[in-house]
Amino acid sequence: MLPAYIPSPTVNAIKVGPLSVHFYALCILAGIAVALWLTSRRWVNRGGKPGEVLDIALWAVPFGIIGGRIYHVITDPELYFLPGKDPWNAFAIWDGGLGIWGAIALGGLGAWIGCRRAKASLPAFADALAPGLLFAQALGRLGNWFNNELYGDPTTLPWGLQIHQMDPSSGGAAVGTDGSPIVIGYFQPTFLYEALWCTLGGFAIIVASRRFRLPRGAEFSLYVMIYTAGRFVIELMRSDYANLILGLRVNTWVAGLVFLGGAVAFALVMLRARRRAEPDGKNTPSSDGSDDVVDARDSD
Non-local CB neighbours of 169 within 8 Å, separated by 6+ positions: none
> What's the predicted TM-score (pTM) here?
0.85
Q: What are phi and psi of 249, to 5 degrees?
A: -60, 150
Region 262-289 average pLDDT: 71
User: What pLDDT sits at residue 200?
Assistant: 97
Q: Judging by beta carbons within 10 Å of its beta carbon (0-12, 13-18, 19+), is residue 276 exposed, middle or buried?
A: exposed
pLDDT band at 96 (very low <50, low <70, confident <90, very high): low
**More confidently predicted of 3 and 33:** 33
User: What pLDDT sits at residue 154?
Assistant: 92
User: What pLDDT sits at residue 264?
Assistant: 96
* Strand positions, DSSP E, the chain: 13-16, 19-22, 161-164, 166-167, 172-173, 183-187, 244-245, 248-249
pLDDT band at 95 (very low <50, low <70, confident <90, very high): low
Q: Nearest CA to 209 among 107, 98, 132, 104?
A: 132
Evaluate if residue 78 carries a pLDDT over 90: no
Cβ atoms of 228 and 197 closer than 8 Å = no
Q: What are phi and psi of 157, to 5 degrees?
A: -65, 150
Per mean pLDDT, which range of 26-40, 95-109, 134-148, 272-286 is the poorest?
Answer: 272-286
Q: 32-42: per-residue pLDDT in tens?
A: 999 999 999 99
